[in-house]
Structure 1
Amino acid sequence: MPNAIKPWVFTASCPSKLGTVDVVTRYMAEAGNYVDEIHSFDDRVSKRFFIRIEFQPTEADFSAEKFDAAFGPRASEFEMEWELTEPEHRPRVAILVSKYDHCLNDLLYRHRTGQLNIEIPVIISNHPDLEHLAEWHGIPYYHLPITPDTKPEQEAEIVKLLEQYDIELVVLARYMQVLSPWMCEQLNGKAINIHHSLLPGFKGARPYHQAWEKGVKMVGATAHYVNNDLDEGPIITQGIQTVDHAFYPEDLISKGQDVERVTLFNAIRYHIEKRVFLNEGRTVVFSS
C-alpha cells in the first residue's frame, strides 16, 4: 500500500447507465492508482450517478495531464463530468461577515491550526466591528457599508474583490444581508451560508427570544448553498442540540451559536474535500 500524505481526489457525475462504477474503478486499477476511499450513489429520481474516489498513484510518472489524456475517452462514452483535485490544493476562501463573530472566530482558528485546508486571503464586511480579528491574523479586511440605495454598488465591489483575490468559495459567516438576485447568480454553487434552524420557524427580530417564549426543546443550524430563495438553497449540513426549560434566551443563543460553528465548519470541509454534488435542487454529500 502506498504511503502518501494526502490523496488525490477524483469526482464525477453522469447520467445513470450500466457500467459507471466499472469504468472508473477499472481505470484506477489499470493505471496503478491505489484506492483509499470510494463513495458512489445512483439517484433513481434524477437519473444521475455520482462517485468520489480518494487514491494514491503508484506510478512514478503520474500526472494530472496523463490521467486526463487516458481517462478522458472512457469518460466521454458515459457523458461523464469529472474533476481531478491535487493533494496540495488549498482553495481560496473569502469570508463575508457582519457583527457576530462566533463563526468567523471559529473558522480563523481552524484555518490557523490546519483543521481547514484553505487559504483566507480576504474578509469583507458591511461593518467595521471585526477588523481587529482580521488584523490579528494578518488578513486584509474590507469594510463596505451598505444601504438600500447603495446595495448594487456594494455588491459590485464585493464581486471585484472576489475576482481580485481569485476566490473559489465564499462563506457567509453570519453576513446579515439579503443578497440580490444578481449577486446570487454570481455566487451560484460557490457560496455557503449558515443560519439558525428553530422549530417552529421563528423569523424576524430576536428569534431565540421568540423560541424561548414558546418553550422550544431543540435548537439547530443549517448550512446551505446560496441561491435566490432566501435561506432555502441546497442543504449541505445540519446540526441540532436538545434544550429544556432551564435554558433562558441567552442560553439558547449560546447553544445555537455552538451548533452554527460546527455545522458551518463541516459544510466547508465537505465542500473543499469535494464531497458535495449539486443534484438539481438538492445535494449528494459523501460525508467522511
Structure 2
Amino acid sequence: MSFLKRLLDFYINSSLHVALSVYALVRMTGYLFQLEAITAPAFFAFFGTVVGYNFVKYDALARTHKLQMRTGLKAIAVLSFFAFLATGYFFFQLERTTRIIAVCFLLLTLLYTLPFFPNRRNARNWAGVKIYIVALCWVGVTLFLPVINAGIEWTKDVYVVAVQRFILIFVLILVFEIIDLLQDDPHLKTVPQQIGVTWTKIVGCMLLAVFVLLELAMTSVAYPTLLLKSGVALTTGLFLVFAHKRRTSYYSSFWAESIPILWWGLLFVLTKL
C-alpha cells in the first residue's frame, strides 16, 4: 500500500496527471471541430505541460537552494528532461504559425515564473493575477493551438468554446484556492481570500451555469454534447461546493483535476458505441 501511495504521489508531483488533463482537453478540441491533425498538438501539450508545470513548481525552490534533491525529485528532473526532448520533437511537427503562438505561451509561462525586472516579483505573485494567467494558458494550449495548427476558419463556435474552457478551468482553480487557503500567502489575494469561501462557491456555480447555457449559442446544438457538458458542470460544481480548506491535496490535485480526463473518456466511449 505504501508503494502504491508513493507511486500516486510521484504521478501527481511529476505533473503527469495535470498533463493528462491537458491532453484530454486537446483531444476534446479535436473532436468538437473534427480536426485531423491533432496528434502533434496533443502530445506537444502533454509533454510541454510536464516541463512547464515542473519548472514552475520547482525552479524557484531549486534556485534558492531550499529544495534538496531527494530520490523522488531526481526522478522528476530526469522525467522532465525527457519530456523536454519530446516537447521539442513535437514542437517541430507543428505548423510554423502554431510554433510562434506556442513560443508566446512559453514566454507567458516564463513571466509567470521568473522575475524579469529587478526587485519585482514574478507574475505568479502578482496579487489576483495568477488564476487568469493559468486559465488563459490552458485555453491557449488546449484550444487555440490545435485550431491554428489545423488552419480551420475561426467561427463563432471557437469563441464560445474558448469562453466555456476558460470558465471550466477558472472554476477548477477555485477548488484549488479553497483547499490551499491555509497555505497561500495573504498577499496573493486569491478569490477566496478576497470574497470569502461562500461567495467563491456562489460565483463558481453561477459561472458553471453560464458554461452550460453557452452551449445553446453554438451553431448547432448537439444534445449528447450538451448532456455531457451539463454533467461536467454538475460534477465540477459538486467538487466546488464540498471543497474546504481542510481537505487533503488529493481532493484537488487528483480528483478534481480528473474531470477533463473523465469528460474525454466518456466522450470516447460514447462515440465508439
State the TM-score, normalized to the length of structure 1: 0.25
Instruction: Mark the structure with the bigger radius of gyration.
Output: 1
Structure with higher helix content: 2
Q: Which has the higher contact order (CA 8 A, sep 6+)?
A: 2
State the TM-score, normalized to the length of structure 2: 0.26
Structure with higher strand content: 1
